[in-house]
Amino acid sequence: MVLPFKHEPFTDFNDETNRKEFEAALELVESELGKDYPLVINGEKVFTDDKLTSINPGNKEQVVGHVSQATKAHVDRAMESALEAFKTWRKMPAAARADVLFKAAAIVRRRKHEFSAWLVYDAGKPWSQADGDTAEGIDFLEYYGRQMLDIAGGKRLENRPNEHNAYFYQAMGPGVVIPPWNFAFAIVCGTAVAPIVAGNPVLLKPSEHTPVIAYKLVEVLEEAGLPKGVLNFIPGDPLEIGDYLVDHKDTHFVNFTGSRATGVRIMERAAKVQPGQKHLKRVVAEMGGKDTIIVDSDADLDLAADAIVNSAFGFSGQKCSACSRAIIHKDVYDEVLEKAIALTKELTIGDPAMENVYMAAVSNQKQFDKIRDYIEVGKNEGELVYGGETDDSKGYYVHPTIFKDVDPNARIMQEEIFGPVVAFAKAEDFDELLEIANNTEYGLTGAVISNNREHLEQARYDFHVGNLYFNRGCTAAIVGYQPFGGFKMSGTDSKAGGPDYLNHFLEAKVVSETY
Ligand SMILES: NC(=O)c1ccc[n+]([C@@H]2O[C@H](COP(=O)([O-])OP(=O)(O)OC[C@H]3O[C@@H](n4cnc5c(N)ncnc54)[C@H](O)[C@@H]3O)[C@@H](O)[C@H]2O)c1
Ligand SMILES: N[C@@H](CCC=O)C(=O)O
């Protein structure tokens, strides 16, 4: 009997014992940096000469690992092994498939700080953010295992005399999983294990920025008993194998999370039927955000400032859910801005491998350059009232940055920056707060800080985002509690960590028997 789902608790780093244990995990992982990692195809470890090097974003000199890169020929081999594995994995009882996930969750839980320490080095995550990422990965394993058990029996249909009707779900076939680097354990884990537990073998192409922690997941699933060929690990240059994976005639689905540009490209390519392809491909594409917190005239202003600062600067704003727009009622604008600046001044920034800091380096040079450029753009679009400093001499450090009096149509109000930059703007009344909140092409998360029940109810239906929060920040959805996915150009609204998620990777079948 499986216990009810409960989300994995976060570690309290004020506790001396927890801090010591985390430091020990960092030491362990540091002693393992710089190793070589293979592809995994049909359970076989394949080392290639062409390797990508993963570095610590907080300390560019430090090599986290050298990871073999797959070619198109490797993709073909991986697909063949996935097709072979599909023959048996799809018929494995749902409970047995779920057990692999439950066992993997138990393994990761026992080695939780070690996984988080890998995230500190591979993704540059501060301790608490790394801990949250690992906890979310555990949650996905526990939640999707249970969800599979729940739907394994199918749905009830009506029966007539001498006729028995059955409605059940079956796997679709092998698919491709393409995650981003920003939740380098949780999203990799969730987007891979959901189709797997549903019975579909997977080709996993991790982000080129965080391949080592992705390999650690592959090891765990193997240890948990996943049969060979069900999870093929094929890191590689997206320019070489990205389109090839999506276009492959045997790809049945693409489970993608990443930028709008890549998601749209995948959608378009996957729609084209290739020679020899005998099915339509499904695409789950969870993409970017330009997320807004609106603050009403009647609101808890300390809560508002806290929500804005933590949603904008947690993990340096590198969350699709991050608050990059704070739209404030004119009566409380100055006060909220002042409080937000005061809170931001208290944030600590540094190398996350050295101490438990609030913010660390951003992920990579491309990210750093992009954010720095947007800060320059912002200087012409509003008034820089805090931060703006950047330094990539040792790692990719960007300080938390606040602009005020920005036109809601300005570039820094419309384009996803994916860094620690938040723009403030003023609105006349609640209608205008909502109008500005909705005036982007994205629709992922948003929050309303208000004591006015009528206004909250108005926002419930008129604030067009997939994940809307009242009187809290707009980040940190929890599996099973806030299923996650966006509207508009934020994606296909897949609601990861929610009760319908596995259906994206299943076909419903009806069998009707006459007696
Ligand atoms: N909506 C969500 O749930 C969610 C969650 C996390 C991140 N994101 C978004 O992800 C973005 C940041 O991640 P990123 O920088 O890794 O995004 P990205 O689009 O650059 O890369 C995402 C993945 O796609 C791969 N890729 C790149 N080009 C490809 C191609 N032509 N074909 C196939 N695969 C290709 C990359 O190698 C990577 O694995 C942000 O826009 C963020 O908002 C969204
Ligand atoms: N699910 C995460 C965001 C994932 C994207 O980066 C959150 O709710 O903050």
- Determine the distance separating the centroid of ligand 2 and the alpha carbon of 228, expressed in angstroms: 31
Q: Which domain CATH number covers 395?
A: 3.40.309.10
Q: What are the CA-CA distances from residue 154 to residues 147, 167, 275 (Å)?
A: 12, 6, 34
Based on the fold, state whether residues 364 and 379 are members of the same structural domain.
Answer: yes
Q: Are residues 406 and 442 in the same domain?
A: yes
Give the Å distance between the CA of 514 and the centre of ligand 2: 49
Instruction: Note whether 314 and 454 are same-domain residues.
Output: yes
Rounded to the nearest 5°, which phi and psi values hold at 436?
A: -70, -40
Which of 129, 183, 287 to mutate for ligand 2's pocket (most ligand atoms within 8 Å of CB)? Answer: 183
0.95 exceeded by the pTM?
yes
Q: Which atom of ligand 2 is nearest to the CA of 477?
A: 8
440 CA to centre of ligand 1 in angstroms: 20
Structure tokens at 356: 């438990």
Quote the ligand 1 centre to 312 CA distance (angstroms): 20
Atom of ligand 1 nearest to the CA of 243: 32
**Enclosing domain of residue 91:** 33-287+494-509
Task: Estimate the crossing angle of helix 186-197 against helix 211-223, to 10 degrees.
Answer: 40
- What does the pLDDT read at residue 1? 81
**How many whole angstroms separate alpha carbon 86 and alpha carbon 287?**
29
Do residues 141 and 104 make contact, with C-beta atoms less than 8 angstroms apart? yes
| Ligand sitting nearest the alpha carbon of 132 | 2
In a domain, 5, yes or no: no
Q: What is the per-residue pLDDT for 293? A: 99
With contact defined as beta carbons under 8 Å apart, do 301 and 336 qualify? yes
Query: What whole-number distance in Å separates Cα of residue 19 and Cα of residue 355?
Result: 9
Nearest CA to ligand 1 atom 39: 207
The 3 state secondary structure assigned to 409-427 is CCHHHHCCCCCCEEEEEEE
Give, as one character, the DSSP assignment of residue 240.
Answer: I
Same domain, 440 and 323: yes
**Which ligand number lies closest to the CA of residue 315?**
2
Q: Is the dihedral of CA 415, 315, 10, 300 positive or negative?
A: negative
Name the residue of 183, 188, 202, 207 whose CB sits within 8 Å of the most ligand 1 atoms, as the mutation to test its pocket: 207
Q: Helix (H, G, I), strand (E, B), or coil: what is residue 67?
A: strand
Residues 318-350, buried b or exposed e (16+ Cβ, 10 A)?
bbbbbbbbbbbbeebbeebbebbbebbeebebb
Same domain, yes or no: 276 and 295: no
Distance, CA of 472 to CA of 323 (rounded, Å): 12
Element housing 167 (H / E): strand 163-171
Report which bound ligand comes closest to the CA of 139. 2
Name residues contacting ligand 2 (CB within 6 A).
Answer: 182-183, 319-321, 475-477, 484
- Does one domain contain both 151 and 299? no
Residue 75: strand, helix, or coil: helix
194 and 232, same domain (yes or no): yes
Distance CA 341, CA 193 (A): 41
- The answer to whether residues 387 and 272 belong to one domain is no
Which residues of the chain fall below pLDDT 50? none
Residue 434: predicted pLDDT: 98
pLDDT value at position 384?
Answer: 98
- Ligand 2 centroid to residue 129 C-alpha, Å: 11
14 within some domain: no
Separation of alpha carbons 483 and 467, rounded Å = 8
Task: Specify if 489 maps to a domain.
Answer: no
Structure confidence at residue 354 (pLDDT): 87
Q: Residue 69 has what pLDDT? A: 98
**Helices assigned H by DSSP within 239-364:** 243-247, 260-270, 301-313, 333-345
> Given this model, what pLDDT does residue 356 score?
87
Known catalytic residues are 286, 320
Could you tell me if residue 175 is inside a domain? yes
What is the phi/psi pair of residue 29, to 5°?
A: -65, -40
What is the distance in A from the centroid of ligand 1 to the CA of 257? 5
Q: Are 283 and 297 in the same domain?
A: no
Q: Do residue 108 and residue 127 come from a single domain?
A: yes
pLDDT of residue 391: 97
Structural domain total, the chain: 2
CATH of the domain at 66: 3.40.605.10
Q: For the purposes of burial, counting CB atoms within 10 Å of the CB of 149, is it exposed (0-12), middle (13-18) or buried (19 or more)?
A: middle
The DSSP output letter for 68 is E
Query: Which pLDDT belongs to residue 355?
Result: 85
- Among residues 98, 335, 298, the alpha carbon closest in space to that of 199 is found at 98
Question: Does one domain contain both 268 and 296?
Answer: no
Answer whether residue 21 is part of any domain. Answer: no
Choosing from 189, 207, 287, 319 the residue with most ligand 2 atoms within 8 A of its CB, the one to mutate for a pocket test is 319
Within-domain flag for 15: no
Per the domain annotation, does 454 fall within a domain?
Answer: yes
Q: What is the C-alpha to C-alpha distance for residues 176 and 515, in angstroms, rounded to an integer? A: 41
What ipTM was reported for this prediction? 0.99
Ligand 1 pocket, residues with Cβ under 6 angstroms? 178-183, 187, 205, 207-208, 238, 242-243, 246, 257-259, 262, 265-266, 286-289, 320, 416, 418, 444, 484, 486, 490-491
The residue whose CA is least distant from atom 7 of ligand 2 is 476
Residue 23 lies in a domain: no
Residues 276 and 298 in one domain: no
Instruction: Say how far apart CA 245 and CA 203 lie, in whole Å.
Output: 9
Question: What would the 3-class secondary structure string for 23-56 be?
Answer: HHHHHHHHHCCCEEECEEECCEEECCCCEEEEEE
